[in-house]
Structure 1
Amino acid sequence: MQILFLCTGNSCRSIIAEATFNHLAPAHMHAMSAGSQPTGEIHPKSIALLQAKGISTEGYYSKSWANLPQTPDIVITVCSHAAGETCPAYLGNVMRAHWGVEDPAKVSGSEEEIQASFEQAYRVLSARIAAFLALDLAVLNDRVVLQSKLQAIGQIMS
């Protein structure tokens, strides 16, 4: 099963979700991430956060949804801008869900406040990913039930 985490910039939330998912997922599941308007670089605080959590950052980079190596089975948007954007036609009839998370890259304030926003994004995304990975095989094979579960998982706040 291929999961695509989609965001506008593909520098923070979608990268954090991709790396965390791949770190936790069984071998038959894989995540990728992309952006509709990628920044071209991963936010340094995203890299530092993932490394602090013991999650590899090797091979991850900011990329466009126009250059996906595979067609995903599920597209999960993680920012409000991407939720309203149209996915490319070649993605076909893929399942979609929205797991909105505040953008830590847009937070201003003290270093502690900025770091706390990255931690919060990670907590929310990792809780949602864990809930997804806890679904049993019967749910994963039932598109109607899975769609409902994906929407519910998007409401988990940590």
Structure 2
Amino acid sequence: MSAPDLLARLATLEEQVAALRRAGWERDELPLYPTNFTAMAFSDATAFSTLWEGVMSPRTATLSLGLTLVGDQVAGVNTGGAWQVLLAGTVVWSGTVLPTYTIAYVSTGLDLLPYRGAAGLLVEIQTRRTSGATTGGRNGNGGSIGLTPRFARLL
């Protein structure tokens, strides 16, 4: 049995390294901090309010973000809402919160290339109530929308 040719081994190694570079790899976890004191952030406001935020220096191409959302019910009235993610004050991703106790898991990859030169990039996750009860509930103002990040990875 003959030993593999050194040039063939080198070519194989270069091909494997190139494939790894193209595939990308996880760089770091982005810490997001709640703007209130509860573990599952709730909001019963009818205007958007920030529940989670963090500041970062974007050195990677993508922020992979996953959220957990849940609506509410007060005295038999279902409460739904809306959520949005902002980068530097601009809405880059948004959706709705189902007006039931159904838990929704959403995720996406946000493009950070337009922000690569920024020294500090503010990431905000906001929500608001759009339907449901107007009294009672968690804080007395009607149904509450629950939202929490599952992961925030810089890729």
TM-score category, normalised to shorter length: under 0.3
Of Structure 1 and Structure 2, the greater strand share is in: 2
Q: TM-score normalized by structure 2?
A: 0.25
Of Structure 1 and Structure 2, the greater helix share is in: 1
Choose 1 or 2 for highest CA Rg.
2
